[in-house]
Amino acid sequence: MKTVLTINGQQVSLDIDTRVTLLDALRDHLGLYGSKKGCDHGQCGACTVIADGRRINSCLTLAAMHDGETIITVEGLAHGEALSALQQAFLGHDGMQCGYCTPGQLCSATAMLEEARAGRASQVTDDLTTPAPLSRAEITERMSGNLCRCGCYSGIVAAIEEVAAE
């Protein structure tokens, strides 16, 4: 099936099996291996990408369903050689060990900060009438769809806190 996507600023045209997930399209058909396959079932968040501004599990959706959309993957977070503030903060706080969950954590955190700026509430937001400050509890709640088995949560959250405070 013909599908056109704009990925990290570049328009690509694919002719693929309708069963191909967005994740497999990125990895196997476009060679963008930055998005990771940890569970293929929407349970771990390693495949998180940003589709039309929203973070999604790319393993849970078919590529053909995203025809015409704009997708940002981990490969698209930096501006040329210059890392994004979050990428840089992950290095500073060692918000990674094996690195396999890292692309998902980064895409998720990038979109999550936008959600918070837009005043979107989370499960732990007490007052829904005013925008919640991005406390540690808010960050960990909003990031809990991204598992890290190495246990780097302290570093990841410290990195997000640093960028959120800027």
Partner 1 sequence: MTIDYQIDDPENANLPHPNGHGPLGADMERRDGRDKVTGAARYAAEHAPDGLLHGVLKRASGMGTVCLTNVQEVEALAGVRLVLQDERMIRNAAQGTAGEAPVQGVDTADYIGQPVALVVADSSEIARDAANLLKVQSVGDDLPVLPKHGETDPDMQENSVTGKPQDAFDKAPVLVDATYTTPSLTSAAMEPHAAVAEWDGDRLTLYGSLQMLRYNRAELADCLGIEPDQVRLRAPFVGGGFGSKLGISADCVAAALAARALGRPVRVVQHRRQVFEVNTRRSETRQRIRLASHSDGRLTAIGHEGRVSNLPGEEFAEPLLQASYFNYAAPHRLLRSEMVRLNRPAAGSVRAPGAAVGVTAFEIAMDELAQKTDVDPVELRLRNLPDKEPGNGRPFSSHRLADCLTEGRDRFGWSDRAAQPRQRREGEWWIGTGMAAAVRVNLVMDAEARVRLTPEGRAVVETDMTDIGTGSYTILGQIAAEALGLTVADVDVTLGDTDLPPGSGSGGSVGAASTGTAVWLACAEIRRDIAARMGRKPEDLELEGGDVIVGNDRRPLMDLLSGETLSGHGKLAPGEALEKVRQATWGAVFAEVAVNDITGEARVRRMQGTFAIGRVLNQRTARSQAQGGMVWGLGLALTEAMVHDARDGHVVNRDLAEYNVPVHADVPYLDVCLLDDQDE
Residue pointed to by tokens 């994004």? 84
- Judge whether 13 and 3 are in contact, CB under 8 Å: yes
Six-digit token string for 29: 């058909």
What H or E segment, with its residue span, contains residue 17?
Answer: none
Judge whether 73 and 87 are in contact, CB under 8 Å. no
Minimum distance from residue 22 beta carbon to partner 1 (Å)? 13
Residues 5, 22, 24, 56: which binds partner 1 (CB under 8 A)?
Answer: 24
Site for partner 1 in 27-66 (CB under 8 A): 27-28, 31-41, 43-44, 46
**Given 22, 51, 63, 157, the residue binding partner 1 (CB under 8 A):** 157
By CB under 8 A, tell whether 20 contacts partner 1. Answer: yes
Q: From the CB of 3, what's the least distance to partner 1, in Å?
A: 15
**Tokens 């890290």 — which residue?**
148
Angle at 80 (CA atoms; ends 51, 78), nearest 5 degrees: 40
Task: Considering the complex, state which of residue 66 and residue 107 has its C-beta at the smaller distance from partner 1.
Answer: 107
Tell me the two tokens of residue 51. Answer: 């589709």
Q: Where along the sequence are the contacts to partner 1 (CB under 8 A)?
A: 17, 19-20, 24, 27-28, 31-41, 43-44, 46, 73-75, 77-78, 83, 87, 90-92, 94, 96-103, 106, 136-137, 139-141, 143-158
